[in-house]
A and B are shown apart, each in its own frame.
Chain A
Amino acid sequence: MEFIAIGAGIAILTGAGAGLGIGIAAGRAAEAVSRQPDASGKITSILILGCALAESTAIYGLVIALLILFTL
């Protein structure tokens, strides 16, 4: 049982990559808005889409972790 919990913990490490990706995207978006404040609406929608795509890896990790914990 303990080893299963360790596996779930490893699966959740995918969150690190998603955090990095979203952080980079948000930083670049801030730069872009400071350079062109007029385009902030368009930049925001692109940022949200990019964040959602980057976030999905973390979500896969979460799903796998929950599956490991509750079905194994």
Chain B
Amino acid sequence: MGVLQETVFEILHNSENVADMIGEKMAVNEAFHFTIGNMRIAVDDGIFVSWIVIVVLAVLAFCLTRNLKVTNISKRQAAVEFVVTKLEGIFYNTLGEHGKEYVPYLTTVLLFLGLSNIMAVFGFKPPTRDLNVTIALAVMSIVLVQAASIRRHNVFGWIKQFAQPTPVVTVFNILDIFTRPLSLCMRLFGNILGAFVIMGLLEHILPIFLPAVFCLYFDFFDGLLQAYIFTFLTGIYIHEAIEDPEPKEKKVKKKKKKAVAAETAAVEA
């Protein structure tokens, strides 16, 4: 009984520092700074860790793509090809026929986010915990979506697309340009920051065993899922932007559906 009481007291005593600890987990600190002339350029830890992620990915990409052959391939090449085909397969279905050229971008962002989100496992603060990083990625996404739409439909088609399906929704379509990146970046930021803070709390309460179990969910599952969702949603937006506007065919399909429904109803009656 005495030991239990002592532990409870210890946890309660520690809880006074919890607020400080959470504040420290949320804070974006300066990793280092350098000066060019009179300008003092600060590099935040989020950006510094994302540089590490970029270097790791670049080195992996460089090392794994040496000596590629068409026939008699090595085990390494087979593994790389398997992974790349699987990752690209995720987006080929979402993007459809006209969106194939956007698959490499989405795959790259998926890899970058996937590695960034699980950086907490290796003892770094994940860069996506920094709102600036996620805002940059979300702005890149929405610019790509609009550019894809302009490339496919020209400028006039792009403007006309805001009045699709009916002119009443034009305001909402224009609002979408701002709300989509906002929700994209806030979702990623909130999830990763929340997971990071909760992992900090768990480490605070019980530093052994407990974090190892929850790390599987909060760091690996949630981190990789958020990376997937970010790129998947970007893919859906791109697909929506480059779709062919074919109202005539849709009407025909609807009529057909109605006819089929009427037939089945008649049969059932």
Contact = CB atoms under 8 A, between A and B. Distances in A.
Question: For this complex, into which size category does the number of interface residues on chain A fall?
Answer: 10 to 19
B194 A49 contact: no
Contacts, number: 36
Contact of B190 (A48, A63, A69, A70): A63
B186 A56 contact: yes
A49 B226 CA distance: 10
A59 B225 CA distance: 14
Contact of A62 (B190, B228, B232, B233): B190
B164 interface: no
B109 interface: no
Interface in A10-66: 48-49, 52, 55-56, 59-60, 62-63, 66
B91 interface: no
A70 B233 CA distance: 30
Question: For this complex, into which size category does the number of interface residues on chain B fall?
Answer: 10 to 19
Majority SS at the chain B contact face: helix
A60 B186 CA distance: 7
Given A56-B186, A59-B186, A70 B23 contact: yes
B189 interface: yes
Interface in B168-206: 183, 186-187, 189-191, 193-194, 197
A70 B186 contact: no
A49 B190 CA distance: 17
Given A52-B225, A59-B194, A66 B186 contact: no
A68 to B, nearest CB: 13
B111 interface: no
Interface string B214-243: 000000000001101100110000000000
A55 B232 CA distance: 16
Contacts of A52: 187, 225-226, 229
A18 B34 CA distance: 44
A56 B23 CA distance: 23
The 5 A-B pairs of least Cβ separation, nearest first, read A59-B190, A52-B229, A63-B190, A56-B187, A62-B194
5 contacts: A48-B225, A52-B187, A56-B183, A59-B190, A62-B190
Given A48-B225, A49-B229, A63-B193, 8 more contacts: A59-B190, A59-B191, A60-B186, A62-B194, A63-B186, A66-B197, A69-B22, A70-B23
